[in-house]
């Protein structure tokens, strides 16, 4: 009997963790594609003109900016780990290069459309959110990119005091996980041990209550002092 209970408890913990951990692989892989593509754009700009900032590029890249020659060079480094200075953002995705190459192959036309006509857009949003629909915009979650709690109230996701489960991905429950000190579905209440320092329609600031109640403490010191004086007089 108890063994069954233990097993049930383990299963419950496992399934709740599964609910919490979002892999968000397709979206992250798309962003890997975007980052490697972007590195290629920067690198080719530098190679062909000892170039610098974006404003400079706009002026001086001219025809080269959307030339096929450049696209071929950029594509050489796309989906390669070695194109990025570090992989910190993309840890935990196995075979990321292969998965990225698959996305690239399947949506080559869309990526070319970005290169030739949409470079003025943010590639991550244009490609991964709008075209491929692998990510949701910031503050949105789930299959249909629903709004995180708080957005309908005119505030940030979870009132800016917590994280919305699945934020930015096509996964998740949208539930807020509040920072320490905050509670409620929208993280707009203060936890016990905290007090409300300020509140507007769209935000709340909670501060930890001081454990040490100085006024009461002072009374006690005074009482102890009086007692000691009394005792010493008696002696
Ligand atoms: C594109 O948008 C993403 C998500 O909002 C942001 O993190 C990134 O910095 C933007 N990229 C550029 C080049 O502005």
Per-residue pLDDT averaged across 24-29, rounded? 96
pLDDT attached to residue 15: 44
User: Does residue 217 sit within a domain?
Assistant: no
pTM above 0.95, yes or no: no
Q: Kindly state whether residues 204 and 149 are assigned to the same domain.
A: yes
Q: Kindly state whether residues 168 and 196 are assigned to the same domain.
A: yes
**Residue 95 pLDDT grade (very low, low, confident, very high; cuts 50, 70, 90):** very high
According to DSSP, residue 135 is labeled B
Q: Kindly state whether residues 25 and 127 are assigned to the same domain.
A: yes
User: Does residue 111 sit within a domain?
Assistant: yes
- Given a cut of 60, whether residue 233 has pLDDT beyond it is no
pLDDT attached to residue 13: 45
**Residue 181 pLDDT grade (very low, low, confident, very high; cuts 50, 70, 90):** very high
Q: Which of 100, 131, 162 marks a domain boundary?
A: 131
| R_g of the chain computed on alpha carbons | 28
CA distance 197 to 207: 6
Count of domains forming the chain? 2
Whether 121 is in the pocket of ligand 1, judged by its Cβ within 6 Å, is no
- Indicate the pairing of strand 189-190 with strand 182-183: antiparallel
Whether 222 is in the pocket of ligand 1, judged by its Cβ within 6 Å, is no
Range of the domain at 155: 140-208
User: Does residue 165 sit within a domain?
Assistant: yes
**Residue 17 pLDDT grade (very low, low, confident, very high; cuts 50, 70, 90):** very low
* E strands in 82-155: 140-141, 146-147
Q: How many residues does the chain have?
A: 235
Q: By alpha-carbon position, which residue is closest to atom 10 of ligand 1?
A: 122
pLDDT attached to residue 9: 52
Q: Which residues contact 78 (CB under 8 A, 6 or more apart)?
A: 33, 36, 37, 40, 100, 104
């Amino acid at each position: 009997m108890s063994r069954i209970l233990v097993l049930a408890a383990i299963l419950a913990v496992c399934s709740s963790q599964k609910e919490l951990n979002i892999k968000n692989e397709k979206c992250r892989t798309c962003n890997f594609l975007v980052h490697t593509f972007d590195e290629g754009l920067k690198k080719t700009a530098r190679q062909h003109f000892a170039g610098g900032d974006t404003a400079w590029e706009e002026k001086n890249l001219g025809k080269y900016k959307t030339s096929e020659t450049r696209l071929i060079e950029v594509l050489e480094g796309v989906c390669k780990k070695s194109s990025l200075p570090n992989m910190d953002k993309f840890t935990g995705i196995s075979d990321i290069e292969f998965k990225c190459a698959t996305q690239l192959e399947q949506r080559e036309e869309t990526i070319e459309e970005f290169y030739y006509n949409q470079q003025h857009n943010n590639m991550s949003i244009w490609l991964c959110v709008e075209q491929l629909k692998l990510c949701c915009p910031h503050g949105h979650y789930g299959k249909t990119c629903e709004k995180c709690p708080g957005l309908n109230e005119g505030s940030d996701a979870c009132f800016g005091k917590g994280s919305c489960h699945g934020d930015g991905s096509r996964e998740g429950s949208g539930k807020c996980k509040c920072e320490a000190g905050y509670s409620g579905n929208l993280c707009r209440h203060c936890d016990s041990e905290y007090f409300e320092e300020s509140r507007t329609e769209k935000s709340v600031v909670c501060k930890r209550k001081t454990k040490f109640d100085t006024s009461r403490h002072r009374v006690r010191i005074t009482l102890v002092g009086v007692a000691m004086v009394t005792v010493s007089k008696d002696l």
